[in-house]
């Protein structure tokens, strides 16, 4: 009798031990499930690409320089000489006024690696009566672009202007240079008014709503070659890639280099529109048949009470132009696409299922699209997990209660 009781007791202890080990394993699996839901970076990235890019830039208010002495007052480095120019660099300015306005200066200076967004009809950069100024490696967005007036010996290099009325506007400018710049999604790309003896080389001017390149009837002796000019007149009006109404403006180097044009028919010289009767004697065809690339962003579930959820598409195109996002049945406004990642905040989505679609357009009209399903759930744990996590936790809780009851019956 004693041995029988001992055998039953040993069996009960073995079963109890097994059930407790099973419970621990289930709790560990449940915890790992929750951690995966919280930490998996693939469905939703909580990093805004643009914030990463701007991390090195200092946010400041708009800057107005009225004379040479003001450069030191606004914190520019350097001394204003050709070898040590004043430098304003790594700034981020978002303003309802002109971001950087420089007037009446002769000192050498450079505005470098800045991100400038202007609103309400103002400019990203404006020079008035300036000599020896440079704009290098800047990103100018929104309304105003870059405007240079009554100035000389100005250089604009490796700068992008998009979403502006005029990308770069030169008015009464002498002996200046625009090189390696990109203008797109503006009303006009580059305009020269009463501007002479200046050079426009190695620029990319595409996808602007009206003319890509315009020279007025009072401008002369300007040199334009090595540029890529295409798919302008995006508004389908009576505009063109380039118009020259001036005189003695040259569109090739006289040896072998002209410009690349999206509307070149491949035969002979390229005729520039306008009364200037200009020719590009060495034209090339500017074409792009490659659609944008876009990395699919995974379908995902988010907690309605969580914040900072951002949908990220990794995108690329040599000539990005614009994108449109469709949220369920609602088309959001067309937005200039400057390349790099495209992000979309999920924080304002209401509870329930959602479908987010994006279509990318490059300058040549090629397209790429992607769609993502988002499920927004109400959290019972105040941000600890979604209903899916609750379901997993509920299973573990049910098993735990069952184990307790079974152990009591075996006791």
Domains and CATH numbers, the chain: 39-49+291-391 (2.60.40.10), 57-285 (2.160.20)
Contact 173, 198 (CB under 8 A): yes
393 — pLDDT class (breaks 50, 70, 90): very low
Residue 236 has pLDDT above 50, yes or no: yes
pLDDT at residue 390 tops 50: no
48-71 average pLDDT score: 77
Binned at pLDDT 50, 70 and 90, residue 385 comes out as: very low
Q: Which pLDDT belongs to residue 322?
A: 93
Has residue 271 got a pLDDT over 50? yes
pLDDT of residue 137: 97
Which residue in the block uniquely carries the two structure tokens 């079974």?
406
Q: State residue 48's pLDDT score.
A: 32
Q: Is the pLDDT of residue 405 over 80?
A: no
CA distances from 84 to 75, 79, 106, 110, 127 (A): 15, 6, 14, 10, 20
Structure confidence at residue 238 (pLDDT): 64
The pLDDT of residue 379: 64
pLDDT tens per residue across span 144-195: 799 999 999 999 999 999 999 999 999 999 999 999 999 999 999 999 999 9
Q: What is the pTM of this model?
A: 0.77
pLDDT at 34 over 50: no
pLDDT for res 138: 97
pLDDT at position 133 over 70: yes
Mean pLDDT of 398-407: 51
Residues contacting 78, CB < 8 A, separation 6+:
71, 84, 85, 86, 87, 109
User: What is the percent of the chain where pLDDT is above 70?
Assistant: 77
Q: What mean pLDDT is predicted for residues 269-295?
A: 96
**What pLDDT, on a 0 to 100 scale, did the predictor assign at position 290?**
96
Task: Identify the residue with better confidence: 384 or 371.
Answer: 371
Identify any residues that bridge with 152 across adjacent strands, giving them in sequence order.
131, 174
Which of 9-18, 60-69, 104-113, 384-393 has the least mean pLDDT? 384-393
Measured distance CA(269)–CA(274) in Å, rounded = 15
Output 347 or 7, whichever has higher pLDDT: 347
Q: Which residues of 297-329 are buried (b: 16+ CB within 10 A; e: fewer)?
A: beebbbbeebeebbbbbebebebbbbbbbeeee
Separation CA 397–CA 40 (nearest Å): 24
Encoded tokens for 113: 């690696």
Distance separating alpha carbons of residues 197 and 199, to the nearest angstrom: 7
Q: pLDDT (tens digit, 9 = 90+) per residue, 98-110? A: 999 999 999 999 9
Neighbours of 137 (CB within 10 A): 15
Q: Is the pLDDT of residue 303 over 70?
A: yes
In this predicted structure, what is the pLDDT of residue 339? 82
**Residue 175 has what pLDDT?**
97
Q: Mean pLDDT throughout 21-46?
A: 43
Mean pLDDT of the chain: 84
Q: Calculate mean pLDDT across residues 77-103.
A: 96
CA distance 148 to 315: 34
Q: Which of 217-231, 233-247, 286-300, 338-352 has the highest mean pLDDT?
A: 217-231
pLDDT of residue 36: 45
Whole-angstrom distance, CA of residue 170 vs CA of residue 222: 12
pLDDT of residue 306: 86
């Amino acid at each position: 009798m004693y041995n029988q009781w001992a055998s039953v007791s040993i069996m009960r202890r073995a079963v109890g031990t097994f059930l407790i080990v099973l419970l621990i394993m289930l709790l560990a699996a449940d915890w790992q499930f929750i951690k995966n839901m919280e930490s998996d970076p693939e469905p939703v990235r909580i990093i805004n690409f643009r914030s990463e890019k701007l991390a090195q830039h200092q946010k400041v208010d708009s800057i107005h320089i009225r004379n040479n002495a003001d450069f030191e007052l606004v914190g520019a480095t350097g001394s204003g000489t050709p070898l040590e120019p004043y430098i304003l660099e790594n700034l981020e300015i978002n303003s309802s006024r002109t971001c950087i306005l420089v007037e009446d200066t002769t000192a050498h200076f450079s505005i470098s690696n800045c991100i400038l967004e202007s609103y309400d009809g103002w400019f990203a950069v404006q020079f008035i009566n300036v000599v020896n100024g440079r704009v290098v490696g800047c990103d100018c967005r929104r309304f105003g672009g870059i405007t240079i007036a009554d100035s000389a010996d100005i250089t604009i290099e490796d700068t992008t202007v998009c979403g502006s009325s005029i990308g770069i506007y030169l008015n009464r400018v002498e002996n200046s240079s625009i090189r390696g710049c990109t203008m797109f999604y503006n009303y006009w790309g580059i305009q020269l008014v009463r501007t002479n003896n200046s050079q426009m080389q190695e620029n990319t001017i595409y996808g602007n709503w009206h003319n890509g390149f315009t020279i007025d009837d009072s401008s002369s002796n300007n040199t334009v070659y090595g540029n890529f000019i295409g798919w302008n007149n995006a508004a389908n009006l009576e505009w063109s890639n380039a118009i020259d109404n001036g005189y003695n403006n040259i569109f090739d180097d006289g040896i072998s280099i002209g410009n690349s044009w999206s509307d070149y028919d491949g035969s002979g010289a390229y005729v520039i529109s306008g009364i200037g009767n200009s020719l590009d004697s060495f034209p090339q065809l500017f074409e792009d048949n490659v659609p944008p690339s876009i990395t699919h962003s995974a379908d995902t579930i988010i907690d309605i009470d969580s914040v900072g959820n951002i949908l990220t598409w990794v995108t690329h195109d040599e000539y990005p132009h614009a994108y449109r996002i469709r949220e369920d049945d609602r088309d959001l406004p067309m937005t200039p696409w400057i390349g790099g990642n495209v992000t979309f905040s999920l924080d304002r989505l209401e509870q329930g299922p959602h479908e987010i679609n994006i279509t990318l357009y490059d300058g040549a009209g090629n397209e790429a699209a992607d769609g993502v399903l988002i499920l927004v759930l109400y959290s019972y744990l105040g941000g600890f997990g979604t209903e899916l996590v609750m379901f997993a936790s509920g299973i573990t809780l049910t098993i735990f209660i069952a184990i307790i009851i079974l152990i009591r019956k075996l006791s």
